[in-house]
Amino acid sequence: MKAAVVLRPFKRSDTKENVKVGRRFEADNDYIKELSRSGLVRELAVNVSRETKVDPNAATGKTLSASPAGRVSRKKTSRRLSDGVQKTQAEKLL
């Protein structure tokens, strides 16, 4: 499978879909080559693969160095007063 960008609008022969200019799509290598020879698409350098994503740590065999998440505090956050001004410690005691 290869990817290509459309240069001129056309109707795909494999899916019967109208393709607009600037759209990127994927198709078989031979089909993309044929369209690029006729000047309808420009091939992209990257080949498209349909493989599943692999965990990079599994490939290297290393474990993660990050520590596990800690507990969440159950304390409520302080509320602001209706006028938006926080009281000082002395005012709270009165």
- pLDDT for the residue 92: 61
Average pLDDT in the 28-53 region? 81
Cα radius of gyration rounded to whole Å, the chain: 29
Which residue in 31, 33, 35 sits closest to 14, CA to CA? 31
Is the pTM here over 0.85, yes or no? no
The better pLDDT of the pair 63, 27 is held by 27
Q: Where are the beta strands (DSSP E) in 1-94?
A: 2-6, 10-11, 18-19, 24-27, 41-47
The owner of tokens 């474990």 is: 63
Q: How long is the chain? A: 94
